[in-house]
Structure 1
């Protein structure tokens, strides 16, 4: 194991961001940005542990529970449990819990789900109407492009796996602090992807013998304070660590035309339809190449890669 040594770039920060400034100056750049001074309502002052427990009460929520603060979606080092919301918040805000599922220092993480998780998107306003009255969602996008709103609550120390989303989103950090590390879409080949997730879980101490290309990534980093809003463009990889017990709300919207997305996607993590079709074509091409001797397969695979590079790669 060897600690990463690549240069770290601070995510650009903008003060007193209005709708006009975001749409004209920040959004067109298509890079992450920390937005300060954004009006988000009374939630920052209200949403402490006791208030959350009082207004949501015994509503049942499905949560991630793990003995390891570095949650790994690929290897599933966590389990799903259901708890009353007030019980979950009390546990998530505590360093140790004598009532536990796996261990006294287990970690908890909530990503709100729709009423029917198989069919319904997460709509924070509908799921938590009392809390939604406290939150003012920045009008950074056209309302007809809204996709979902997700409440996120987690224990201090929880680190979520590196992944990308196919839609633009803002992460509104209401309480607690978060460390967010981001990687450009152009680093996809360096991140050892399984679907939309990276195999490199311990990014601070990556095993270069196992993941040698990871040392080539460009690392963007920021610390979100309560009240900060982070803009994450679609396809940007992000790895999020809760430095404190924290509460946040994610708002996702469709950057592409709505017809570009899979209408059965309730989590916002299925690739656009054209991209899915292209990947299926690649899989069929690989199957066809397997009918050739190894030296022929190698030769034509290189030709295909060259054609993709010359026709589809963006060098900008």
Structure 2
């Protein structure tokens, strides 16, 4: 039950060189995954092996996820976060202790966590940077839960190797997303891609898996709102950054159209549901158009056209069964934001 039939597996295409114009036009804007072989050649970050990092940033404090071997983690529902030093994390990992084999150093903001590396942190210029870059260090065998991000991601393999399974944004329902209101910026799947329960998740058998193995130096474009599940095939170091297309509102316009729109809508309503239990939500609704504008600007660095804002406001009203928004009677220069709750969960 844990294997895809051969006809449901497609190899992610590979390019030998990175041409920015071709990359943005043919892959980033069209939402197609692609691997660029040896894409880190000549960049200073390519030397960031575990041993190099120990020497440069071993004493830096990092946040580490725990209990990553649990069934709850593999479907993105629960884990703990602890603080430690990079050296201690690597010591546990290399000792293959219980703690080392159930931990994961994920999504460390390089500029904040490892400022010593900032001068070496040059990444390929492929589009408009939304967020990052971030550093990830995993032990051999680590399974990262299947999820999608609201931005395109460039995954850069620095040391070791990883296997990546990707699934199109068109398969939202077949991927069985966690219920609306789940924590974090991402949407997680309830499916363990290595041990699929097809009796519980029968539609998953219909999806196409886009597969690739990344070696040191390889780059992978993960299109926005595409599901992806990553397994570390060795102790590994990788980096990623989140992107959108160039332009003032081009990215927003694209993700509000088919085939991305249903997944973007689910992501937006997940944030609405995250905020709904709070007392401030009524005041958020009073100034919802401004809250939506601010959310889009913060997340995607774009100013959305008024027609887009109106559509998103109507989408939220329909979801909440509201005929009209509550009246705003004053009370502060800025409204309570539509905030991503549980950002440390991604």
Under TM normalisation by the shorter chain, which class is it?
0.7 to 0.9
- 2:316 maps to 280
- 2:163 maps to 179
Aligned equivalents of 1:31 and 1:250: distance in 2? 17
Matches within 5 A, 1:234-253: 234-253=224-243
Aligned equivalents of 2:68 and 2:34: distance in 1? 32
Indicate the RMSD between aligned Cα atoms, in angstroms.
2.9
Aligned structure 1 segments of 4 or more residues deviating by more than 6 angstroms:
272-276
Aligned equivalents of 1:177 and 1:205: distance in 2? 21
- 1:110 maps to 105
Aligned equivalents of 2:100 and 2:86: distance in 1? 19
For this pair of structures, how many residues does the alignment match? 262
Call closer, same or farther: CA 1:242–1:39 in 2, change over 3 Å.
closer
- 2:161–2:214 contact (8 Å) kept in structure 1: yes
| 1:127 pairs with one of 108, 113, 117 | 113
Gaps of 5+ in 2: 181-186, 246-250, 254-292, 301-307, 324-346
Aligned equivalents of 2:169 and 2:92: distance in 1? 36
Matches within 5 A, 1:39-54: 39=40, 41-44=43-46, 46-54=47-55
- 1:205 maps to 195
Call closer, same or farther: CA 1:275–1:59 in 2, change over 3 Å.
farther
Aligned equivalents of 1:88 and 1:240: distance in 2? 20
Instruction: Provide the secondary structure at the position in 2 that maps to 1:193.
Output: coil
- 1:88 maps to 89
Call closer, same or farther: CA 1:228–1:252 in 2, change over 3 Å.
same
| 2:142 pairs with one of 143, 158, 175 | 158
- 1:293 maps to none
Aligned equivalents of 2:164 and 2:2: distance in 1? 21
Question: Displacement of 1:153 after TM fit?
Answer: 1.1
More helix by share: 2
Give yes or no for the alignment of 1:55 onto 2:56: yes
Question: Displacement of 1:281 after TM fit?
Answer: 3.7
- 2:4 maps to 4
Instruction: Provide the secondary structure at the position in 1 that maps to 2:96.
Output: coil
- 2:214 maps to 224
Call closer, same or farther: CA 1:67–1:231 in 2, change over 3 Å.
closer
Question: Displacement of 1:279 after TM fit?
Answer: 5.4
What's the TM-score, normalizing by structure 2?
Answer: 0.67
Aligned equivalents of 1:110 and 1:273: distance in 2? 37
Aligned equivalents of 1:192 and 1:207: distance in 2? 12
- 2:14 maps to 13
- 1:26–1:33 contact (8 Å) kept in structure 2: yes
- 1:183–1:238 contact (8 Å) kept in structure 2: yes
1:230-249 residue CA offsets vs partner (Å, 9 max, x unmatched):
01111111001111111111
